[in-house]
Amino acid sequence: MDGVELIGGALRDRYGLSDAARTAATISREIARADPDPLTLTELDDRLHRYATTLFNTPHTVLLGPIVGDWRRVQDALGRRLSPDVHRELTRAAGYLSFYLGILSADSGETTSARRFATLSTQFAGQLDDRLLTGTAHSLDAVIAYLDGRLETARDAIARAAAVHHPYLHAWAAGLAVSIAATAGDQQTLDDALARLRERPYIRGLRHPGWPAFDQGREACIVADAMSRLHVPGARSAAQRAVRLTLPGTVSHGWALGALAATLIHEDPRAAGRLLDEMVAIGDVAPSRLLANRVHEILLLITTPPIDHAPRTADII
């Protein structure tokens, strides 16, 4: 009996079995305590959706603090020994939080930060094989390239977003493709994108993080902007409708005002100037590279002699 005990003790000392057992106990306790409680996960999911609904009607300076805080907490949690289901849920949350920070960075002019968050969002999507998150990350790539003026890159990125064929993302992918094509003056691609936008699936009652719901106001802004850029008959009426459908003081409203100003540049430059003043006022409260770029474009048009454009007669609405 003493011999057996001596052999056991020798094994423990020689191979570190006791130390390993103590480590096993520590790991077991870490696993038991690693997962956030269900209420914390539910509240995080609620915030993910709330960020989507406020993305374009709340100043970036208001959103950045809470989103960065959640992003850091989720990254810290992912470093723990989580259960597989919770790890997947938090990886998904990390992907969408990175998307939000990428959008806010891009529209704040922080292109390097935006690209880093976009890459991270794509990596999280790849870990999950999640179609919606994958397409959302590609659409972020498109927005970053569009704001940088890299229109071919933006076009390719939004094509990748559309290729995931997720119903919730369909309208956003088509709408962004419309904006990219209109800015590039690519009429064939524009017509194709408009057709996809008109044929988008009807989505009701679905809650997803990422992009906000694609509503009439967003569609009106996109169509009005495209019509004003290409001098389509009825562009002014479309822009006026977009102004009515958007909430005053928001970036979306400023975008609609830009479409209206573009139709008044040479006929009523004073009115166009007043609209630009409104856009600048919105940008002062809610700084936006999208609005700043459009104000700059319209100012250049105001100082440029008018060009005779052959108006499009194709149905753009």
pLDDT in tens, 127-144: 998 999 999 999 999 999
Task: Confirm whether pTM is higher than 0.85.
Answer: yes
More confident residue, 38 or 210: 210
- pLDDT, one tens digit per residue, over 38-60 is 888 999 999 999 999 999 889 99
Question: Could you tell me the CA-to-CA distances from 3 to 6, 17, 200, 256 in Å, in that order?
Answer: 5, 18, 79, 88
User: pLDDT band at 305, cuts 50/70/90?
Assistant: low
pLDDT surpasses 50 at 314: no
Question: Could you tell me the CA-to-CA distances from 224 to 207, 234, 237, 243 in Å, in that order?
Answer: 27, 9, 8, 10
DSSP state of 81: -
Across the chain, mean pLDDT equals 90
DSSP state letters, 255-290: HHHHHHHHHHTTT-HHHHHHHHHHHHHHHHHS--HH
User: pLDDT band at 202, cuts 50/70/90?
Assistant: confident
Structure tokens at 203: 């989505």
Lowest model confidence (mean pLDDT) among 71-75, 80-84, 242-246:
80-84
Average pLDDT over residues 201-222: 87
- Residue spans of the domains in the chain: they are 1-34, 37-167
For residue 21, what pLDDT is reported? 82
pLDDT surpasses 60 at 240: yes
